[in-house]
């Protein structure tokens, strides 16, 4: 990990230090995804089979997972894993249910009622990656809020293995949280199928879930097409920023950094601390622990893009964090909760020495589908609200129109919209009110 003293850098150098590993959408990637989307739109299921053979090296007879495959997946899983999936789902449901938006009704004036109604998005498409490892936890994170929101149909795509089957734990998790249909599809072709529909895959209104650069690019392309589908958020490789003080345990800090570094070679981890001793100790501990990981090769590639940043204070550490806007922010400092007031931009925050990021990935109850690449400045993680439409309603009686009609007419006249003004004044005249 590269060691940096923040206070010796110019503003341009600070921007460079906090840059993600990939800063632009490569033209060849854009064109490649565009071609895949075009093939799926033109040839439907035939293209999906061809692309699965090309990229996932599997032959798909049936694109959709059958009931027999769901049953086989459940039978194949160890009881303790099934129990853990159910336990995690219950905890995610408890938090997301409590945090779900509620209908609102307010009388803004006498005779003026304004309300907000909540309606679920009709059909949603969930993407669960399975590149370097299957992610049943993502099926939980996406499926639980969709169920709470009441979406009419929930579709899920996850890449097939070489034998043409999906991961058993992903299938069990999907069935546990009430996903209606699962398709053995991955990559940009899965996103295209859910966005535009094929003979087998139904067209979805909004797409959710993380993925590699191809999946991310596909989501961006379909979301910018009026005929495509909305998406949850722009997203990229996983990342974590840890703020730690001299009292932090370097073993814990190193473990947290490596838990994200092992996600993929393009993941990024950042440690910010005012303690040179802590930075030294963590650097040594990262090297020691990394050698013990089964995915050490992947972690080492991610660490090459990562940073150890020395600052003068915890306040300055927060400034660095807010500038970076991390997907995951870990506060390994004394009195960690006191720093929360200074956190402006982060996908999810983990407070104190006993809160590893891993619990949020699996079963604390929060959601692990979060904004990356600095999008935490303007986006939030997936929640029940992500699966809902908020519709406002207003109703006036005659007294209400008398109360707010003159205000409406004055503002309409100021904007030179005479039709707007007359829609009010004609009604007021019928009530005997002249402006």
Of 93, 285, 328, 368, the active-site residue reads 328
Catalytic position from the list 39, 168, 310, 327:
327
238 conformational bin, left if phi > 0, alpha if psi -120 to 50, beta if neither: beta
The CA-based diameter of the chain, rounded to the nearest angstrom, is 84
328 is in an annotated binding site: yes
Q: Euclidean distance between the first and final Cα of the chain, in Å? A: 72
Q: Is 368 annotated as a binding residue?
A: no
Q: Does 260 count as an annotated binding residue?
A: yes
Tokens for 192, please give them: 């295209």
DSSP characters over 241-268 = EEEE-TTS-HHHHHHHHHHHHTT-TT-E
Task: Check if 327 is active-site.
Answer: yes
Active site residue 310: no
The per-residue DSSP string of 149-183 comes to HT-SEEEEE----TTS---HHHHHHHHHTT--EEE
**Is 263 one of the annotated binding-site residues?**
yes
Would you say the C-alpha torsion 216, 225, 368, 3 has a positive or negative sign? positive
Residue 300 burial (CB count, 10 A): 16
- Please tell me whether 420 is known to bind a ligand: yes
Strand ranges, E, within 347-387? 348-351
| 127 annotated among ligand-binding-site residues | yes
Coarse DSSP helix, strand, coil percentages of the chain, rounded to the nearest 5 percent: 50, 15, 35
Which residues neighbour 181 within 8 Å (Cβ) at sequence distance 6 or greater? 64, 65, 153, 154, 155, 156, 202
189 annotated as belonging to a binding site for a ligand: yes
Binding residues for Zn(2+): 260, 263, 361, 420
Binding residues for substrate: 238, 260, 263, 328, 361, 415, 420
Binding residues for NAD(+): 127, 189, 212
Which sequence positions are flagged as catalytic? 327-328
Binding residues: 127, 189, 212, 238, 260, 263, 328, 361, 415, 420
């Amino acid at each position: 990990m590269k060691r940096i003293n923040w206070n010796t850098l110019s503003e341009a150098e600070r921007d460079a230090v906090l840059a993600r590993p990939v800063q632009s959408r490569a033209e060849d990637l854009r064109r490649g995804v565009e071609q895949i989307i075009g093939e799926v739109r033109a040839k439907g299921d035939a293209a999906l089979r061809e692309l699965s053979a090309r990229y996932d090296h599997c032959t798909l007879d049936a694109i959709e997972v059958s009931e027999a495959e769901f049953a086989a997946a459940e039978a194949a899983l160890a009881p303790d894993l099934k129990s853990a999936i159910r336990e995690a789902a219950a905890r995610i449901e408890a938090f997301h249910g409590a945090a779900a938006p509620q209908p609102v009704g307010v009388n803004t004036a006498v005779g003026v009622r304004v309300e907000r109604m909540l309606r679920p998005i009709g059909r949603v498409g969930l993407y669960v990656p399975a590149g370097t490892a299957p992610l049943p936890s993502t099926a939980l994170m996406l499926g639980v809020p969709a169920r709470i929101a009441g979406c009419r149909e929930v579709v899920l795509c996850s890449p097939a293995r070489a034998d043409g089957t999906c991961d058993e734990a992903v299938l069990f998790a999907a069935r546990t949280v009430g996903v209606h249909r699962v398709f053995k599809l991955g990559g940009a072709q899965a996103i295209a199928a859910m966005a535009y529909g094929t003979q087998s895959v139904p067209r979805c209104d909004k797409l959710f879930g993380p993925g590699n650069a191809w999946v991310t690019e596909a989501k961006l392309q379909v979301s910018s097409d009026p005929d495509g589908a909305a998406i949850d958020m722009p997203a990229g490789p996983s990342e974590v920023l840890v703020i730690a003080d001299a009292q932090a345990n370097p073993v814990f800090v190193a473990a947290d950094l490596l838990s994200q570094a092992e996600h993929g070679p393009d993941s990024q981890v950042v440690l910010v601390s005012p303690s040179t001793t802590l930075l030294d100790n963590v650097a040594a501990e990262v090297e020691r622990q990394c050698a013990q990981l089964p995915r050490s090769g992947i972690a080492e590639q991610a660490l090459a893009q990562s940073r150890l940043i020395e600052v003068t204070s915890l306040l300055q550490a927060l400034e660095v964090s807010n500038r970076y806007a991390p997907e995951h922010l870990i506060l390994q400092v004394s009195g960690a909760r006191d720093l929360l007031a200074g956190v402006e931009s982060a996908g999810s925050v983990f407070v104190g020495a006993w809160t590893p990021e891993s619990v949020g990935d699996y079963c604390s109850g929060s959601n692990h589908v979060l904004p990356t690449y600095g999008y935490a400045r303007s986006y939030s993680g997936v929640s029940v609200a992500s699966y809902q439409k908020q519709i406002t309603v207003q109703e006036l009686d005659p007294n209400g129109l008398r109360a707010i009609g003159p205000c409406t007419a004055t503002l309409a006249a100021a904007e030179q919209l005479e039709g707007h003004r007359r829609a009010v004044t004609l009604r007021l005249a019928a009530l005997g009110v002249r402006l």
